[in-house]
Structure 1
Amino acid sequence: MGREGRRAEQGETVLIVDDEPTVRMLVTEVLEDLGYTAIEAADSVAGLKVLQSDVRIDLLVTDVGLPGGMNGRQMADAGRVKRPGLKVLFITGYAENAAVGNGHLDPGMAVLTKPFVMEALASRIKELIAGA
């Protein structure tokens, strides 16, 4: 089976944290098309709660600008305390790029700048989960 045809393995789960319901809906749609289970959170507090739970999370997709007292990068870093190998895809507006750390990403982290096309989102998700 070619890499393009890779679908999710059983139970692979992605957490989406974004305060815009439309963005969460779009990302969830892409994930479900790929065969992943999606969990949604609307702010960093709810997102971190999921990250600190025992729920399986294969990838975190998060906006950088989030309500809840911490931004997406801070939430991801806090989540990695319990899940050291957590893979993270940051969704960011151009101006927020600096908040990610000016491109200083840890291994397993990637950035997707808004606006993006769904195919780009799908391929980044597949790459990250496959460990590319």
Structure 2
Amino acid sequence: MLVTEVLEDLGYTAIEAADSVAGLKVLQSDVRIDLLVTDVGLPGGMNGRQIADAGRARRPGLKVLFITGYAENAAVGSGQLDPGMQVLTKPFAMEALAGRIRDLIHVAAPPQGGDPGSGTR
């Protein structure tokens, strides 16, 4: 909920998912998504990296911000992040979260489906 609040305070539209299953359904829909913000540890059977990989299978180039309380290398498995992926470790200042979100969203990338005039998600 905190991430949603920060996104909305920055002027973005946020789509919240309660667990990995709900998140995967959103990623498999046609809604425009400019950035996936996910915790590494998720309820619902999949972790954040698996969700990001599934999202990128449907939406190549999807930007991803992983949030985790674990060490960065432990959080993403092999420590390898694809271009357009970043990790933010807890605890963090809200300004750091806002900065990462802005940086990731405003780096040029191909459209991710949906109506391009529908606003940033």
1:99: how far off? 3.6
For residues 79 and 94 of structure 1, the distance between their equivalents in structure 2, rounded to whole angstroms, comes to 22
For residues 79 and 99 of structure 2, the distance between their equivalents in structure 1, rounded to whole angstroms, comes to 20
Q: Is the deviation greater in 115-124 or in 101-110?
A: 101-110
CA contact (8 A) 1:65 1:96 kept: no
1:32: which partner in 2? Answer: 8
Normalization by structure 2: what TM-score? 0.82
Q: Deviations over 1:1-43 (max 9, x none)?
A: xxxxxxxxxxxxxxxxxxxxxxxx2111111111100000111
Higher relative contact order (CA 8 A, sep 6+): 2
For residues 57 and 73 of structure 1, the distance between their equivalents in structure 2, rounded to whole angstroms, comes to 17
For residues 127 and 60 of structure 1, the distance between their equivalents in structure 2, rounded to whole angstroms, comes to 13
Distance 1:65 1:97, change over 3 A: farther
For residues 64 and 126 of structure 1, the distance between their equivalents in structure 2, rounded to whole angstroms, comes to 20
Distance 1:70 1:99, change over 3 A: same
Q: Identity of counterpart residues, as a percentage?
A: 90
For 1:1-132, list aligned pairs within 5 A. 25-95=1-71, 97-129=73-105
Cα RMSD after superposing both structures: 1.3
Runs of 4+ in 1 over 4 A off after TM superposition: none
CA contact (8 A) 1:64 1:92 kept: yes
Normalization by structure 1: what TM-score? 0.76
Which structure has greater strand proportion?
A: 1
Q: Which consecutive unaligned segments of at least 5 residues does structure 2 have?
A: 106-121
